[in-house]
Amino acid sequence: MNPEITAVLDRAALARNAAERFVALARQMIARHARFSVALAGGSTPRDLYALLATPKFAVQVEWARAHFFWGDERAVPPEHPDSNFKMAHDALLSQVSIPPENVHRIHGEWDASQAARDYEQTLREFFQVSAAPSSGPAFDLILLGLGANGHTASLFPHTQLLHETEHWVAAEYIAEVKMNRITLTVPAINAAKNIVWLVAGADKAATVRAVLRGAYRPEELPAQLIQPANAQVTWLLDHDAASQI
C-alpha cells in the first residue's frame, strides 16, 4: 500500500493536522472495538502534537478512559529524567487530561534495559492477548514515528543488531551514536500496526526524507526504510522544510 504523503506549512500546521487525525482515529477505533491503542514517539517534533491534544478544543473530543498509551521507544533513564520520552508525553498531555493510570503503559527506563524490554513485551502480549508463540505482532491502532536525520526511527539506529530482531517485539541495545541504552519496538512489531503516522519537520530532515522515500533501499543506513507494514495505512506528515526535496 503506497503511503500518503502530506506536506503542511510549518510545525504548528503539522501538529494541527496530526491532532485532527489522532482524534478521528481514536473515535473510529473506540466505536469499532471500544478502545484505542497508540504508541507515542519521542523527540521534539511530537511534543507540539501532545500539547495540542491537551487543549480544550481537542481534549473534549477524545474518550480518554478508553485510550491506552504506549511508547515506540524509550531511553534507559528514569521517568523523571529530562531525556525520558515518558516524561515528555506525561508533561505535555498525560498529566493534563483524565487518563486512568492503568491506561498508561510506560517502558521502565529505570530498570536494566534488557529486563525493561522483556517486561514491556509481556505487557504488549497481555494487552493484545497474543501468546508467546511467534505471531504477527501487537496490532496497535496507531503508531506515531519520528525520523532522525541519520535515518533512524524509534530507537532503530543504523548498523545496530536491533534492525535484525525478528522474534521479539521489543529489544534493547547500547547505541554508541547517542551513548545510551535504548529500548524499542522492533521492526516486526512496528510493521504489525494498523495505522502509522510519521511526524517530520525541519530542513535538516529534507535530505533524509528524500533518501528514505525516493532513494535506493539501504536499510542498514536508513532503518526507516524497514517500516513497510503489509496492511497498515501509512501517512507521512511533513512540514514545508522537511518536504522540500521530494
Given the rule CB under 6 A, which residues bind ligand 6PG? 41-45, 72-73, 85, 146-148, 152-155
Instruction: Between 40 and 192, name the residue whose CB sits nearer to ligand 6PG.
Output: 40
CA angle 184, 188, 194 (to 5 degrees): 100
Give residues with Cβ within 8 angstroms of 91, minimum separation 6: none
**Minimum CB separation from ligand 6PG for residue 79, in Å?**
14
Cell of 9: 506549512
**Minimum CB separation from ligand 6PG for residue 72, in Å?**
6
Sort strands 170-175 and 180-185 into parallel, antiparallel or unpaired: antiparallel
Reduced to 3 states, what is the DSSP secondary structure of residue 39?
A: strand
Query: Residue 122 CA to chain centroid, in angstroms?
Result: 18
**Minimum CB separation from ligand 6PG for residue 149, in Å?**
8
Instruction: Between 66 and 182, name the residue whose CB sits nearer to ligand 6PG.
Output: 182
**Minimum CB separation from ligand 6PG for residue 223, in Å?**
10
Q: Give the ranges where 34-144 is alpha helix by DSSP (H).
A: 45-53, 56-59, 85-89, 113-127
With 0-12 CB in 10 A as exposed, 13-18 as middle and 19+ as buried, what is 3? middle
**Minimum CB separation from ligand 6PG for residue 154, in Å?**
5
Instruction: Between 36 and 198, name the residue whose CB sits nearer to ligand 6PG.
Output: 198
Instruction: Between 66 and 219, name the residue whose CB sits nearer to ligand 6PG.
Output: 219
Give residues with Cβ within 8 angstroms of 126, minimum separation 6: none
Query: Which residue type, as a one-letter code, is found at position 140?
Result: F
Residue whose CB is nearest to ligand 6PG in the complex, by number: 146
Instruction: Between 106 and 152, name the residue whose CB sits nearer to ligand 6PG.
Output: 152
Asked if 197 and 237 touch (Cβ cutoff 8 Å), the reply is yes
**Minimum CB separation from ligand 6PG for residue 98, in Å?**
26
Instruction: Between 29 and 49, name the residue whose CB sits nearer to ligand 6PG.
Output: 49
